Amino acid sequence: TLSRTYMPRTRSKKRAPASSSSGGASGSLCERSPAALRLISECLDSDDLLLHVLGLLPLAGLGRAACVSSRWARLAATRSGRLLRSECGRAGTSPRLAARSGGSTALRRSLAESEARHIDPSLLCELTWHFRFKRAAGEHWTGSDPYWQGARARTLRFEPDGAVRWEEEAWDGLMRWRLEGGSLLRVSHAQLGAFPAERLVRHPPSWGYLFTSPWAVYASFPLSRAVDDASLTDRALGCSVEPWQWAEAARYNEAAAGESSSDDEDAPPPFPAGV
């Protein structure tokens, strides 16, 4: 049977033949200006221009461009180490890949790592991480979060000794971290206890790393509410939070509610249970 989208033409208009004269306005670009064609060909033959164009591509596009020809692969992988290192950084992978191996090997490893759902502790400690609360954490926490005030998210680093180092943050020195199986990040606070686990996912547009839980987000790339794309909204990131994480959040709140019966009036309220 024919597709419903296949419909016979009931009316057609004849197009006037293109003029082959040099002064005709209806001729093709090549017919009107052979010099333009020569210029385009010369530009395509320019390694500098092609290298510039490749530098504008995302990592996925760079990988596909490297499959066009040996020349494109050479320019994408070996001609510019800076390009490769910037792409590794944009994907959240280690720039050491470009230094330890050849350009094409580093590019292939970067592409493979961009889809990995695990992270090595050494890489975790190399990266600068950006943190924000989700709305589900409650107004007590989002009200003091720079991200929700229109500024860039807080930054931190995970130290090899297990400490969490915050930049300009009162929590600096009070938090510890540990990595389980390369995909679960557990962070604890000296006063607030162990938070629900953060689960590792990837951010498709940048292929960076994201640790997400019911209440918080850690990203290997800058977070800013003013410029973040739709894939970084609470609604979109909620799809990557597993039911067992919500169960951990519920148990955390139950424990916090029991402790709130003490005389400590300055203790922060428990996180909302969420939906």
Give CA–CA dist 206/152, Å, rounded: 18
Question: Average pLDDT over the chain, rounded to whole?
Answer: 74
Burial 161-190 (b: 16+ CB within 10 A, else e): eeebebeeeebeeebbbebeeebbbbbeee
Q: Specify the higher pLDDT residue, 65 or 158.
A: 158
pLDDT higher than 90, residue 79: no
pLDDT higher than 90, residue 178: yes
Mean pLDDT of 26-46: 54
Element (DSSP H or E) covering residue 157: strand 154-158
Residue 97: band (very low, low, confident or very high) from pLDDT cuts 50, 70, 90? very low
pTM of the full structure:
0.62
- Residue 99, helix vs strand vs coil: helix
Q: Which residues have CB under 8 Å from 163's CB, separation 6+? A: 173, 175, 176, 177
Distances from the Cα of 126 to the Cαs of 71, 148, 229, in angstroms?
33, 26, 25
pLDDT in tens, 212-232: 999 999 999 999 887 778 889
Mean pLDDT of 185-204: 92
Residue 247: band (very low, low, confident or very high) from pLDDT cuts 50, 70, 90? very high
Using the Cα atoms of residue 132, residue 112, residue 182 and residue 88 in order, give the sign of their dihedral. Answer: negative
pLDDT higher than 50, residue 200: yes
